[in-house]
Amino acid sequence: MRHGRADGPACLWWVRRDLRLHDNPALAAAQKLGTVIPVFVLDPALQGRAPRRTAFLFASLRALDGELRARGSSLVVRRGPPPEVLARLLAETGARCVFAHADVSPFARRRESEVAQRVPLQLVGWPTAYSPLEARTSEGRPFTVFGAFRRWARSQPCPHPTLPPPERLRPHEVPSEPLPDAGGLPAGEQAALERARQFAQGPIYDYHTLRDRLDRVGTSRLSADLRFGVLSPRAAMELGCRALEAAPTAQYREGPSRWLDELLWREFFAHILFHHPHSRREPLRPQLREPVWEEDDRLYRAWCEGLTGYPVVDAAMRELVATGWICNRARMVAASFLVKNLLLDWRLGERFFMDHLVDGDPASNGGNWQWVAGVGTDAAPYFRVFNPVLQGRRFDPDGTYVRRWLPELAWVPAPYVHAPWTLPRDDQIAHRCRVGRDYPAPVVDLAESRRRALERYRAAARPKRGGKLEL
Ligand SMILES: Cc1cc2nc3c(=O)[nH]c(=O)nc-3n(C[C@H](O)[C@H](O)[C@H](O)COP(=O)(O)OP(=O)(O)OC[C@H]3O[C@@H](n4cnc5c(N)ncnc54)[C@H](O)[C@@H]3O)c2cc1C
């Protein structure tokens, strides 16, 4: 099947983390040259992990195929290592070039260079609103401190989607392998754009007060759409900026301003991973020694299964496993508990989150885990150890959230629900929650484990001989 004589040369659009037609620089660049053949390569290296994320990906691919078909084209799906698949497709179709966006993780960048060795690959655009090559300090270096990056970003014009979706695309007749079933999950750019618009017209103004609540929905829930580029990050930022401009008073500005900051964290972590690929597995600041981690499979399993005896941690972990998503506060509390109270290596938690999160993203996940563990950029001070009981009382005051995920606590009265072991024994029987039988006793003592963590962190904080603490 050869393409392109009458229509100009055909090019492949290698679909990566840009599963959309709106504001898509790689697609727009390919389209300028003639017929576009959109290709998604199912890489065997990425299969078998994170079933929920994979299901979301397949659902989003189906939606993308629908958008393409509505415009006269269609998505070509092929299985295999991308360099071979793309080289074969060039030979099969007579296409001249491959367009894709540049990515930031070491794995994705290795793939890019392997592909570039086999086919003429042009990288256009990023999975972020700001290019990691353009965001620079006044000394011309990439940012390593969020506050400075934020100041830089806020001094720039607000990013906005520059490229409307194409009205029509030239047809091609390249056969596709069938897309795996996605189980009918709702997905796709129209739905994501609509949700983003609705959020930016109302809930965004309460974002700063509700974002941390465990028992309420106070956030946009757009993370998986941003992760896969179903929603353009520039489109998201533009909506945030418009909401900010539309705010009638300073008080109303707080929500949109905070939301834009969170989008900037996403940008920042992507830039960090791009410029410091070692931070995918190792602490960003290699000069810092990590505390000596415990090795305790029993405690690790208790954390994974939501059986630590601390309701907020357990509810978060059970929600994560059941749905693939938990809010930021739940992520922070569960992560802090693993690292600081159980003193287990943050990489264990990072990997578990990656295996379960529908929005699991190497840059944001790794960056946040390092932040919690105190080994990354702008790290949380080592002495900040979240107390899960106090966090629960503050962000889930009636216990609605923990009861939703821990049916064992259904009858426990609100004052005890975040610390059920404090309920007198007779009351435990009366409220159908005997600690140690119906619900686990706490696996560690909070005060004691905090003290141990502080000691280990203090011991590790001494810089290595000759080591500088700057990047
Ligand atoms: C330990 C830990 C692991 C995390 N792992 C991931 C991950 O793998 N993928 C991921 O997208 N986010 C991750 N986050 C960040 C954050 O928790 C989620 O982005 C957020 O909860 C998603 O919900 P939302 O879409 O409703 O976000 P909103 O609060 O509505 O925020 C809007 C968008 O901003 C971005 N964002 C928000 N908070 C952060 C943050 N702290 N860091 C980076 N980006 C942020 C996300 O793209 C999010 O969709 C992690 C946080 C922690 C503490």
Q: What is the band of 186 on the pLDDT scale with cuts at 50, 70, 90?
A: confident
Nearest alpha carbon to residue 127 among 19, 235, 233, 4: 233
Residue 297 burial by Cβ neighbours in a 10 Å radius (0-12, 13-18, 19+): exposed
Indicate whether 464 pLDDT > 60. no
The pLDDT value recorded for residue 466 is 43
User: Residue 269 CA: which ligand 1 atom is closest?
Assistant: 43
Ligand 1, from 223, 239, 272, 372: best to mutate by most atoms within 8 Å of Cβ?
Answer: 223
Query: Residue 108: what pLDDT?
Result: 96
Bridge partners, 123 (sequence order): 100
Q: How far apart are CA 257 and CA 205, in angstroms?
A: 9
Ligand 1 centroid to Cα of residue 367, in Å, is: 10
pLDDT of residue 83: 97
The per-residue pLDDT for range 315-340, each reduced to its tens digit, is: 999 999 999 999 999 999 999 999 99
Question: Rounded distance, CA 144 to CA 401, Å?
Answer: 36
51's CB contacts (< 8 A; 6+ apart) are none
Question: In degrees rounded to 5, what are phi and psi of residue 435?
Answer: -70, 130
pLDDT tens digits, one per residue of 64-113: 999 999 999 999 999 999 999 999 999 999 999 999 999 999 999 999 99
**pLDDT for 282:** 87
DSSP designation for 405: H
CA dist., res. 377 & res. 154, Å (int): 19
Looking only at the bridges linking them, the beta strands covering 76-79 and 97-100 are: unpaired
Helix (H, G, I), strand (E, B) or coil at 103: coil
pLDDT at 253: 98
Residue 85 corresponds to which amino acid?
A: V
Distance 327 CA to ligand 1 centre (A): 8
* DSSP code per residue over 292-338: PPB--HHHHHHHHHT-SS-HHHHHHHHHHHHHS---HHHHHHHHHII
Asked if 64 and 179 touch (Cβ cutoff 8 Å), the reply is: no
* 265 Cβ below 6 A of ligand 1: yes
3-state SS assignment for residue 30: helix
* Helix orientation angle between 328-336 and 362-373, rounded to the nearest 10 degrees: 50
Span 224-234, pLDDT tens digits? 999 999 999 99
Which residue has the CA at smallest separation from atom 12 of ligand 1? 364
Give the orientation angle of helix 346-356 with respect to helix 311-323, to 10 degrees.
40
- The alpha carbon of 450 and the centre of ligand 1 are apart by a number of angstroms equal to 26
Average pLDDT across the chain, whole number? 93
CB of 93 shorter than 6 A to ligand 1: no
Question: Is ligand 1 within 6 A of the CB of residue 32?
Answer: no
Enter the pTM of the model: 0.96
Q: What is the dihedral of CA 199, 204, 210, 215, to 10 degrees?
A: 0
Residue 467: pLDDT band (50, 70, 90) is very low
Report the catalytic residues.
Answer: 262, 265, 293, 328, 346, 369
Q: Residue 382 pLDDT more than 90?
A: no
Average pLDDT over residues 247-270: 97
Would the CB of 456 count as within 6 Å of ligand 1?
A: no
- In this prediction, residue 468 has a pLDDT band, given cuts at 50, 70 and 90, of very low
* Cβ count near 118 (within 10 Å): 17
CA dihedral for 407, 413, 419, 425, sign (positive or negative): negative
- Please check whether residue 345 is in contact with residue 293, taking contact to mean a CB–CB distance below 8 angstroms: yes
Please name each of the domains of the chain with its CATH number: 11-125 (3.40.50.620), 189-275 (1.25.40.80), 297-461 (1.10.579.10)
pLDDT value, residue 471: 35
Say how many Å lie between the CA of residue 82 and the centre of ligand 1. 29
Give per-residue pLDDT as tens, 17-66.
999 999 999 999 999 999 999 999 999 887 778 999 999 999 999 999 99
Report how far residue 4's alpha carbon sits from residue 8's, in angstroms, rounded to the nearest whole number: 5
Tokens of 334: 């569960």
Q: Which of the pair, 468 or 182, is modelled with greater confidence?
A: 182
Distance between Cα 280 and ligand 1 center (Å): 17
Residue 375 contacts residue 471 (beta carbons within 8 Å) = no
Q: Quick one: pLDDT at residue 185?
A: 74
Distance 168 CA to ligand 1 centre (A): 34
Is 146 touching ligand 1 by the criterion CB < 6 Å? Answer: no
Ligand 1 pocket, residue 360 CB under 6 Å:
yes
The finding on whether 219 has its CB within 6 A of some atom of ligand 1 is yes
Q: What is the pLDDT of residue 316?
A: 98
Asked which of 310-324, 345-359, 364-378, 437-451 is least confident by mean pLDDT, the reply is 364-378
**Is there a contact between 303 and 181 (Cβ–Cβ < 8 Å)?**
no
Q: Is the CB of 368 under 6 A from ligand 1?
A: yes
